Chain A
Amino acid sequence: MVAYWRQAGLSYIRFSAICASAVRAALKPQFKVEALKVAESSVKVYVPKAVALGQYQLYIRLSMIITLIICSSQQIASYHH
């Protein structure tokens, strides 16, 4: 039997996250502060902006080229043996 949330396309990780936040929201005030603090700190969602990503593209391309050069030179070296 498939669970309703699985059928709707949600994973167990998402199910677990929603349940955990529901339980945290039902804590007594003196415990809630501590739990929320810990929960927020473990996962920080960072969305990189598209502009910033463009700056890294040149770096990624250069490193790929360098890797290719090293690989091909190693192949040439091993071929000579």
Chain B
Amino acid sequence: MMAARFLRCALPVLRQARCYADAPSGSAQMSFTFASPTQVYFKEASVKQVDVPTLTGAFGILPAHVPTLQVLRPGVVTVFNDDGSAAKFFVSSGSITVNADSSVQLLAEEAFPLDQLDVAAAKVNLEKAQSEMASASDEAARAEVQINIDANEAIVKALE
């Protein structure tokens, strides 16, 4: 009887049965969707890496990134295609979703390729916003002007 119990306990080890966590089963590809309300830039495309500017900081997303939901701030999104080329877009705001199956959805309120933006116009708007700051009455108005300043600063920084 002792032998039977010993065999029962020892059987899994003898059988080489182990209980580790599963190896990550995701494919080495990410399905990337990037769109604004008016334009779709990438639709379930396979890309190598995407750099995104979020409210909590800028980070790069590779396949098998940990699932996350983030909101965007004005900044540059860089998409590294499979063939090595990089495409840059300026996004105003929006959200990014990374799912467990490595699909990434980047939905922007406004997104344009960098060459559609005018650095001179951005500088003029920045100066106008900075002068508006002095005449802002309450905290909410000040915050709105500050958002405008930050957005224009991000555009100028992206284009220089």
Report which A residues bind B (CB closer than 8 A). 3-5, 7-10, 12, 14-20, 22-29, 31, 35, 38, 42
A23 to B37, CA, bound (A): 14
Q: A4 to B121, Cβ gap below 8 A?
A: no
Q: Does B1 contact A (CB under 8 A)?
A: no
- A interface majority secondary structure: helix
Q: B151 to A27, Cβ gap below 8 A?
A: no
Q: A16 to B118, Cβ gap below 8 A?
A: no
Q: Does B110 contact A (CB under 8 A)?
A: yes
* Given A16-B109, A20-B92, A22-B147, 4 new contacts (CB under 8 A): A18-B144, A19-B74, A23-B155, A26-B155
Q: A19 to B143, Cβ gap below 8 A?
A: no
A5 to B28, CA, bound (A): 39
Q: B94 to A16, Cβ gap below 8 A?
A: yes
Enumerate chain A residues within 8 angstroms of B146, measured Cβ to Cβ: 4-5
| Most A C-beta atoms less than 10 A away, residue of B92, B121, B122, B125 | B92
Q: Would you list 29 pairs from A and B whose C-beta atoms are within 8 A, ordered by A residue?
A: A5-B143, A5-B147, A8-B143, A9-B143, A10-B140, A10-B143, A10-B144, A15-B147, A16-B94, A17-B109, A18-B144, A18-B147, A18-B151, A19-B73, A19-B74, A19-B109, A19-B110, A22-B147, A23-B90, A23-B92, A24-B110, A25-B121, A25-B125, A26-B118, A27-B116, A28-B118, A31-B116, A35-B38, A42-B37
From B112, B139, B151, give the contact of A9 (CB < 8 A). Answer: B139
A24 to B93, CA, bound (A): 12
Given contacts A5-B146, A10-B143, A31-B112, contact A19 B93 (CB under 8 A): yes
Give the distance to chain B from A26, nearest Cβ to Cβ, in Å.
4
A16 to B152, CA, bound (A): 13
| Most B C-beta atoms less than 10 A away, residue of A19, A23, A24, A26 | A26
Q: B71 to A26, Cβ gap below 8 A?
A: no
Across the interface, name the chain A residue whose C-beta is closest to B149.
Answer: A22
Q: Does B55 contact A (CB under 8 A)?
A: yes
Q: B110 to A35, Cβ gap below 8 A?
A: yes
A3 to B112, CA, bound (A): 25
Enumerate chain A residues within 8 angstroms of B93, measured Cβ to Cβ: 12, 15-16, 19-20
Given contacts A3-B55, A10-B143, A28-B118, contact A19 B112 (CB under 8 A): no
